[in-house]
Each structure stands twice: as C-alpha cells, then as structure tokens.
Chains A and B, each alone.
Chain A
Amino acid sequence: MMPVWTKSGKRHAVTLLKVQDCHVLRYISKEESGGKRPLLLVGGKNASPFFKSEAAMEIFREAGVPRKQKVTTFSVTDDAIIKPGTPLYAAHFRPGQVVDVTAKTIGKGFQGVMKRWGFKGQPASHGQTKTHRRPGAISTNKAAKVYLGKKMPGKMGNIYRTSFGLKVWRINTKHDIIYVNGSVPGHTNCLVKVRDSKLPTCKDCNKNPPFPTFFADGDEELPEDLYDEEVFQFTEPSVTYT
C-alpha cells in the first residue's frame, strides 16, 4: 500500500494490484450456462502444468495458453464477448473508473467468539470463575432451541469477500499495475478478482471504458503512466494555494 496525493493536497492510501498473465480461456453461451447472460472464463497467473489431471488441462490446451493458477467467471453482455486466448492487460481499466475487488480473506484458523464476532466477553475480575471470553447465553427459554446460524466459535477467514466502490487512481501500462483506492481483502501477493463496480452511484464513472478490452496489438499507443486528473504527479512543482 502506498500514499497518493491529490492536487488539493489531500492524502489517500492506495493498493497496488498487478495484472499477471491474464488470458480469456473459454466462452460459455447463455443457453449452456442456463443464466441470463453469457459467461467468459478468465485465467490468472501462470503455473506449472505437471500437477493437474489431463481433463483439467483441456481448457488451457484449447485456448492455447499455459496452465493458470486461478480461473474465474465473469458474466458479460453480448457485445462484450472476447475470443478465447486473448491476453488481458491493466489498460482494460482507466483512471477515474470505480471497481469492486474480490479475494479470499486472510485465514485466522479456529477463533473464539470475541475475535470472530466481536462479542464483549466477561469482566476480568469481580468473581468471574473461569469465564472471560465465553459467549454467555446462546438462546432464550421460550425458544427451547438454538437458532440456525447462531454466532459461535469456528474457523475464521479464508472466505471470499468483496470491497465495493474503489476508485482507480493510476495505471502503469509497462508493468501492468492498477493503483486502487483503499484496502483490498487478502494477504500480500494473493490472487484477486477485479470487476467494474455494480454500485448504482458509480454508473456515471464507468463511461467510455476501452470496450470490449484493451488490445495490445491495436493501433492505440498509451503512455507508460496514466493518472487521474486529480492526482498530483511528482513531475510537477510543489502544491501552492492562492
């Protein structure tokens, strides 16, 4: 995570996400998937082909792409279908867009009720016998049962969670890095899924993106760094107020 300053002098914290060897693997039509929209399978980071069965490797062989560590589905509209085998780059997103980031949270193992659900526990002294971090009562008398989904100790973390509405401040096309506002679930160097935001307040922000994606062999020549208009670039002199 890094700081980023705007031209007005405000400081924001930013997470760096690297787009590493992403390729489109397969197109699944609406009828095949049984949903409302067609799906596109996208694979992330390259991995060794020796530790998976032949059946699993079939998808990668068809697309003509080395084996990927993670495969995710994106539901797309009909006009955004991409041919399997095309590489995807960080320039698919532009500064100013708003994005949702999904990842597996850091696993904390088996945790008690105070850490997992934020219960208050019991006092440390004043006669408490062997009861300082316990849940206390788990149901009422009238119910005569414990409700389904009662908050109790158990395995915490290592589940998929999404942070919504993260603004993209900057994109580096040379190293394929996206600078995203705020924090993102997951540990350092974990695999992360980045989608256009579904929030209704952000519909205006995502206008005129590179559609259906940014093609590297196209005519468009992008500069190495793309900044949002508000971001203070270090080539400029210090901020002054008038």
Chain B
Amino acid sequence: SYRISSDGKPAKFQPPPKPVIIDKQKQKEERRFLSPEFIPPRGRTDPLKFYMERKDMIQRRKVFNIPEFYVGHILAVTTANPYASEKASRFVGICIQRGGKGLGATFVLRNVIEDQGVEICYELYNPQIQAIEVLKLEKRLDDNLMYLRDALPEYSTFDVNMKPVSRLDHEEVPVNKLQVRMKPKPWSKRWERPKFNIKGIKFELPEKKMKEAQKWSQPWLEFDMLREYDTSKIEEKIWKEVSEELKK
C-alpha cells in the first residue's frame, strides 16, 4: 500500500537515497600540509634562488624527519652539544612562533623550568639537531603565542618528561580554544590592540580600556590591494614538487 498525499492521488515511488561511501584513504590524501618556510616571500629575487634552497631543504628532509607541526604544539628537540655530558641536550616546550623562509626557518619553544621562563629559538635545518618529536598536537587560536610571556606561568609550564600523546585519527589537528589569563599590566606589548588580532586571551580589562584600544584599529588594511599576496597557486606548485621529490 502506498501513501496517499493530501491531493488524494497516490504518491510516486521514491527510491531510497544512495549510500554515500566515504573513502578514508582519499580523505587522508586530500589533507595537504606544506611547511610555511617553503613559500617564497614577495620580492624581486630570482626564482632560481628559491629553487636551489628548496632542493637543499628537500635533501635534508630525506635524511632527517621534520614532522608537521603548528604554533601551539608541544615539541621535544634534542641537539648535539659539545659541552654537555652525553653530548646531546633535550628541550621540551610549546612552539610559540614559526619564522623565517627557506633554509633559515626558525621556531621558538617556550617552557618554564624551576620558575624561570626559558625560550629557545631553533633553526629547522640546523645539522646539530638530532631529533624533533611532537609530544602533543594542538593548534591554538592564534598564529603567534608571544603573549604567553605576559600570561600566568601555569600556561607555559610543561613537564619535561611528558610522554607523547598518541593520536589515532589522522584527520584534523584539534584546535584548543583556551583563553589565557594574563598577569597584571604592564605587559611587554599592548596585546589588547587590534594590530595583534589575538583571540586567545581572556581580557579582564575594563570596557573603557578595550574601547580605547579600538582607536588604533586600521579597518582599511584588509581592503588594501597592494598588500594582497595570493599564495594558493604557488603553494600548489611547490606542494606537488616537494611531495614528488620526497616520495622518491
């Protein structure tokens, strides 16, 4: 027996919806990550120079594994140190900044050891680095966590002997929407200003101060056409080149 619609005529046979097959392999391949130091900066330099640098970077990556990591991940780096016993020193910290392009790319790790905040800036392609392990994968709301210097020390302390957190799902990197509480002002930079565009701080400042900070906003910047630098096509080309070279 078929359903009778409000018109009184029998409804047309609707076939059941087709099953959607989610191919997990394909989804895995679709997620591309190109390390930001591969993207050449805007300028009048000859592209041959970037090609030579990229060759060297790929060569180093073949020998030494540099894992995919973002700002906010907790990493452990072992470097060769001629003055340490066992000739290797290990440092664990949260990555607060990734800077530089090409072979000079750097990342800054921060940790609080015995109530003293320590930040070390490592070069990704420095041959003295023996190993980089990702202990915890976690993206934050901002690209630059320099405000952790003015936050309460509990947000920058990480256990030096932390075990790596295992992750089975290779789908997406989780985003930690933590809002950090700050020490009382003065801070090293005026983080409430719109220039920094920080979303990861819980500002406990009075409304008046927050409104005054908005005076320094430059809303025309996002519409400035001369500042546009569309890297999507460059990224695709470079991603293809890098992935093909690394597969060899």
Contacts and interface: CB of A to CB of B under 8 A. Distances in A.
Contact of B46 (A18, A240, A241): A18
A9 B129 CA distance: 10
Contacts, number: 65
Instruction: Categorize the interface residue count of chain A.
Output: 20 to 34
A175 B55 CA distance: 13
A217 to B, nearest CB: 25
Contact of B48 (A11, A18, A238): A18
B17 to A, nearest CB: 53
A61 B56 CA distance: 41
Contacts of B60: 234
Contact of B104 (A3, A241, A242): A3
A188 B53 contact: no
A234 B80 contact: no
Given A237-B64, A238-B64, A241-B82, A177 B52 contact: yes
Interface string B171-194: 000000000000000000000000
Contacts of A189: 44-46
Interface string B117-131: 000000101111110
Contact of B81 (A5, A16, A241): A241
A237 B82 contact: no
Contact of A9 (B56, B102, B127): B127
B43 to A, nearest CB: 8
Contact of B87 (A5, A236, A241): A241
- SS class, residues of chain A in contact with chain B: loop
- SS class, residues of chain B in contact with chain A: mixed
A5 to B, nearest CB: 5
A239 interface: yes
B127 A232 contact: yes
A154 to B, nearest CB: 28
Nearest to B87: A241
B52 A236 contact: no
A238 B59 CA distance: 12
Interface string A158-175: 000000000000001001
A234 B48 contact: no
B42 interface: no
Given A234-B56, A238-B80, 18 more contacts: A2-B102, A9-B128, A11-B123, A172-B52, A188-B43, A188-B44, A188-B46, A189-B44, A232-B127, A234-B63, A236-B63, A236-B127, A237-B64, A239-B80, A240-B80, A240-B130, A241-B80, A241-B81
13 contacts: A2-B49, A2-B103, A3-B125, A175-B48, A188-B44, A188-B45, A188-B46, A234-B60, A234-B125, A235-B63, A240-B87, A241-B82, A242-B87
Interface of B: 43-46, 48-49, 52-53, 56, 59-60, 63-64, 80-82, 87-88, 102-104, 123, 125-130
